[in-house]
Amino acid sequence: MEQLGYLLSSTVKILGLIAWIFGLLWGLGRKPLWQKLLTIVAAFAVIQALFGFKIGSFQFFSAFDQGLLFQAVTMAMVALGLNLIYGFNGQFSLAQWGFYGLGAYCSADVTYRWSNGDAGGLIVVGLGVILAGVAIGLVRMFLNRKRGVPVLSAFTFYLFGILAAVFIAVQVGKPLATACLPLFGTVDAPGPLSAPIFLQIVFPLSVIFAGAFAAEVSFLFGLPVLSLGSDYFGIATLGFSIVVQTLMVNSDTILPFPEMKGGRGMIGITKLTTWFWAFAFLIFVIMLIRNFVRSSTGRATLAVREDEIAARAMGIDVASSKLLAFVLGSFVAGIGGGIYAHYIGFLSPNTFSFIKGFDPLIIVVFGGLGSLTGTVAAAFGWIFFLEGFLRVLLGQLGTDAPSWRFVLYPITLLLLMLLRPKGLLGTTEWGFFQASIVKRKIAAPLDKGKGEGVAATPPPPSEVGKPTTGNKH
């Protein structure tokens, strides 16, 4: 009976959340700006209000469900990034989980040091990220003047450029951090920088820096590796995830970060993720990915997936197109990691083992390769159904039952691959993801010749993918 009630309430929650996502996307897809803003505010307020909502013993969002919600938000970000890399650009990447971990550790370290009265984390990471970005830009300008520089040489240039930038950041950042030290004051007499308001500013900064850090690492890693074939690339990215996890386990011995505590896990991270920040970053990521995919660069990315040779013939720089999608996807994964670290408050290398890294892959395949709507919906559904509902229910049924989850995942994946390799939703989109950025007027006579699909203004997004997909099969 108790289980039946749990089943009912879970179903209500999952359906409600999916409806909420579709409503949000629908509202974002409206034309006037004020309607979009209203939708964002309303979508934020609905969940925020439900946090404290209670009818009798039925609570819509218990503490457990709130945790699931944050998890779902981060998973949606990671999966959106992966969909950009794999679904839209066709690069089978297993490194997404590694970038997620990098983002989580980077962001957590910044706020951890800040809340312990050390501004060094923020200054060094911030300076390093910015200087490394400048270095990448300079090296790129230099390399663009010469055509046909081999990948290995380009990689060497970028590597030394970034290393120099990091070196400068550390050398400049350390004295600056020492200079900031008096501003924090002591435990008894806290200085101006110890005020909680600064932590609220440092947190979003740290998350964005974490994303940028992940993006720069992915640039350096992707530059040589993206030139490999599809399955070699898969193995190399799997290797990257393993290397990242190894470094996490050795963060206090080989790397100079004693506060990360290596394999024992990093504790004492201030739990700063609130629904406001999680939602704000989710909207940011959704807009970023959608606007990228719908831009001309994004369409070039799509063309690369369909046929590299044809894309090259159309004048698309295939290598940079792949690299851009990879970097952007990793950036998003890093942001997701930052949100996750400050929600859970504890980071363990086990969380970032490459075996768990298949979760976003399954979500992306499940939601549809090349469907952003499907990815977001699948991420929420996945977390609430499998992590929440199924885990609790199986836990109530018997002690051994939860271990069955990992037996069921691969079977699901296998069946999906055998029965529907394009994913459940295919490339179908909804609402915001469907609307085009620029309202284009298409001349009427042209429409009639082409038949359905093109006639409607604005053109449906599937139009971008359809003709090429049709040619292939």
Partner 1 sequence: MPGRNKVTKKTLSAGQRRGPPLAWVGWSFLILLAVVTVLYVGLKAVANPILFLQNLLDGLKLGFVYALIALGYTMVYGIVKLINFAHGDVFMVGAFTSYYAVSRFNLHMWPAAAFPSISPNLAVVLGSLTVILLSMAVCVILAVTIERVAYKPLRDAPRIAALITAIGVSFFLEFFGALPFVFSARFIPYKAPFSTHAWYIKDGIHPIISGQASPDNTISFSNIFLIIAAASILVQVLLQYIVKRTKIGIAMRAASYDKPTARLMGINVDRVISFTFAIGAAFAGLGGVLYAIAYSSIYTQLGVLPGLKAFVAAVLGGIGSIPGAFVGALIMGQAEAMTMGYISTPMRDAVAFSILIIVLLVKPTGLFGEPAQEKA
Look up residue 362 and give its DSSP letter. H
Which residue, chain included where needed, has tokens 């359809």?
Answer: 466
H or E, element range at 54: strand 54-55
Nearer to partner 1, 159 or 172 (CB): 159
Task: Specify the residue, 121 or 368, whose C-beta has the smaller distance to partner 1.
Answer: 368
Six token digits for residue 68: 């699931």
Strands (E), 334-465: none
| Helix (H) / strand (E) containing 462 | helix 462-472
Q: Which is nearer to partner 1, 168 or 228 (CB)?
A: 228
- Which tokens sit at 388? 């929440």
Residue 266 bridge partners (DSSP): 347
Nearest distance, CB of residue 315 and partner 1, angstroms: 21
Q: Which of 360, 373, 387 is nearest to 424 (CA)?
A: 373
Question: Which is nearer to partner 1, 134 or 415 (by Cβ)?
Answer: 415
CA nearest neighbour of 257 among 244, 267, 248, 246: 248
Min dist CB 104 to partner 1, Å, is 19
Q: How far is the CB of 421 from partner 1 (least distance, A)?
A: 5
Q: Which is nearer to partner 1, 90 or 120 (CB)?
A: 90
Residue with tokens 């038949």: 451
Residue number with CB closer to partner 1 (229 or 315): 229
Nearer to partner 1, 1 or 313 (CB): 313
Q: H/E element holding 59? A: strand 58-59
Phi, psi of 213 (to 5 degrees): -60, -50
For residues 275 and 67, what is the distance between their CA atoms, to the nearest angstrom?
Answer: 10
Please say which residue, 116 or 153, places its beta carbon nearer to partner 1. 153
Write the DSSP assignment of 209-256 as a string of letters. Answer: HHHHHHHHHHHHHHHHHTTS-HHHHHHHHHHHHHHHHHHHHTTTTTSS
Supply the minimum distance, in Å, between the C-beta of residue 157 and partner 1: 7
Which DSSP string corresponds to 71-95?
Answer: HHHHHHHHHHHHIIIIIIT------
C-beta of 173: minimal distance to partner 1 in Å?
A: 26
In the complex, minimum distance from the CB of residue 122 to partner 1, in angstroms, rounded to a whole number: 28
What is the nearest approach in angstroms of partner 1 to the Cβ of residue 382? Answer: 16
Binding site for partner 1 (CB under 8 A): 90, 92, 146-157, 159, 224-225, 227-232, 234-236, 238-240, 242-243, 246-247, 249-250, 253-254, 355, 358, 361, 365, 400, 403-404, 406-407, 409-411, 413-414, 417-418, 421
Q: How far is the CB of 277 from partner 1 (least distance, A)?
A: 33
